[in-house]
Structure 1
């Protein structure tokens, strides 16, 4: 029985202690919350309370900016003390200028008391959010009244003119030859060797005329002598011509004098037919030696090679020629074809319209070879 009574007493005492502790904890929590709330309110607007007190003191003192002092504590022999450093104007209006009567641009401000008057300057603006000292090379933007009409203001009010030169606009882009910006520099030259002849060359000229394409013909002297009228048509229709030796000899196997004779004999026939001597020269088989290069330099000739060889003279099918040209042609390329010299040139005539169409579809424009060397 005693043990049961002791247990009951302990339980009642434990419940009582829990209630007391709960009440004390609740009271303590309320006091802490109240303290935090009061501290937060006091810290949230410290400048607002000080500004309100200062405004009240200013209105009682007649707007001079002096702090009101009770008659019991005023000492006539002591000059009024300046505003404390923690006032809004002291924090937000530091003036690096040695003369406190000068504004941002130099002249005195209206209503500013002289430094000998013993009075502190009146506040001229609300407190600024930043209290960092102004830059020494220009006045702080917070020294003067803030504009209200526009959200933006000049970054340097003391400088009437800007020292930064305006950015020069980019110049106009040079338009490409075909008028399409994406096709700039996509040019190609089609060349025909070994002509002229009376069968394939006229057919090639018809196709070029129909498609509005200018080409280059490297002619052989013996063929010019046989078909002068075809050469005349080539020149008349605006195509370019070049010298391809007199009888298609391999120049690397000839002496310098023989190379020069091959060139001069063909020049004479061309000039006799069309009235001028061409400046372009193509060596048969593309075979070039140091002697050939020396003769070209001495005669001021353009030695023209190629970048795409169709091998049409060997019997390449039209389909293979079209595919090869479409794959291998690059901007500035020179395509080698023939207008005479083999029975397989019929395939060249057959493939030419589709070759032109394929290159145009890729954005190429056609020029003569002298424009690319």
Structure 2
């Protein structure tokens, strides 16, 4: 072996040793960083058989997730079924009833209704009109804070059966948007103004993820029949699963406010559980 050949072999061996030391050092540094971060150290994998085959390092799901979206697949949201008629009652345990208030929120009457519901620790449903929400977002935010359910009652309370599909959708969708802004969630329930339903209202409501809810007992409070008459209608119609319709806007609702203060404690004393419905997808 010549002197030059000996020198070349020595340099080649030295490079190999340096490369090996660098690899070990890098692996050790990676292990230390992982241990500081609270993860398992990454250990170098042993080479597999074959001239170029090697076992890939096991990826860290935590580190890859922000880039590749690794993780359990998300379940696709279920679409709301298209109903042919609205719900008139709700199912629940025992003597459960639902109180609903339409057309608001109204700064003159809705706060008093919310005060009464809070006093008796009761949750209710408010089917709101978008144009009223635009003026009273603080009341819708309060409804969210106090656990009430806010439903869609269109933007301007039109008779939907006389509108085109495009207009109906605009009334519904615009209200969904402003409810989400004020309440924090898009409405899961819809009620047609005047109880006027047709095929388009059911289809478009379902497209927007809403179930249709009507009522069992109509207090007819919008006719201002007198506080005592409203109270009697609620008490006479009380039964498990009943949905009561009242109003907190759309006119003088003083009688509605006073009637609630009278019949609510009586319902509770009679053993009724006033609640809000759970959303059903089937």
Answer whether TM exceeds 0.5 for this pair. yes
Q: Does structure 1 residue 220 correspond to structure 2 residue 129?
A: yes
Distance 1:261 1:288 in 2: 16
Distance 1:258 1:368 in 2: 30
Q: Counterpart of 1:246 in 2: which secondary structure?
A: coil
Aligned counterparts, 1:30-179, within 5 A: none
- 8 Å Cα contact 1:280/1:370 also seen in 2: no
- TM-score w.r.t. the length of structure 1 is 0.49
Q: What is the aligned partner in structure 1 of residue 273 from structure 2? A: 365
- 8 Å Cα contact 2:110/2:249 also seen in 1: yes
Q: What is the aligned partner in structure 2 of residue 333 from structure 1? A: 242
Aligned residues: 190
Deviation sequence 1:209-236 (CA, Å, 0-9, x none): 0011110101100011011111111111
Distance 2:225 2:238 in 1: 17
Q: 1:318 pairs with 227, 241, 248, which one?
A: 227
- 8 Å Cα contact 1:189/1:335 also seen in 2: yes
- 8 Å Cα contact 1:219/1:241 also seen in 2: yes
Distance 1:370 1:190 in 2: 14
Q: What is the aligned partner in structure 2 of residue 176 from structure 1? A: none
Deviation sequence 1:169-202 (CA, Å, 0-9, x none): xxxxxxxxxxxxxx95210000011111111000
Q: Does structure 1 residue 276 correspond to structure 2 residue 193?
A: no
The runs of 5 or more residues in structure 2 that have no matched partner are 1-91
1:258 to partner: Cα distance: 1.1
Q: Does structure 1 residue 304 correspond to structure 2 residue 213?
A: yes
Q: 1:347 pairs with 251, 255, 265, which one?
A: 255
The runs of 5 or more residues in structure 1 that have no matched partner are 1-182
1:369 to partner: Cα distance: 3.7
- 8 Å Cα contact 1:310/1:316 also seen in 2: no
- 8 Å Cα contact 1:222/1:246 also seen in 2: yes
Q: Counterpart of 2:186 in 1: which secondary structure?
A: coil
Q: 1:250 pairs with 128, 135, 159, which one?
A: 159
1:328 to partner: Cα distance: 1.3
1:275 to partner: Cα distance: 2.4
Distance 1:347 1:267 in 2: 29
1:296 to partner: Cα distance: 2.1
Deviation sequence 1:47-79 (CA, Å, 0-9, x none): xxxxxxxxxxxxxxxxxxxxxxxxxxxxxxxxx
- TM-score w.r.t. the length of structure 2 is 0.64
Q: What is the aligned partner in structure 1 of residue 172 from structure 2? A: 263
Q: Counterpart of 2:100 in 1: which secondary structure?
A: strand
Structure of larger gyration radius: 1
Distance 2:232 2:275 in 1: 21
Q: Larger RCO: Structure 1 or Structure 2 (Cα < 8 Å, ≥ 6 residues apart)?
A: 2
Q: What is the aligned partner in structure 2 of residue 294 from structure 1? A: 203
Q: What is the aligned partner in structure 1 of residue 100 from structure 2? A: 191
1:372 to partner: Cα distance: 8.6
Distance 2:230 2:279 in 1: 24
* CA-atom RMSD in angstroms: 1.7
- 8 Å Cα contact 2:98/2:125 also seen in 1: yes
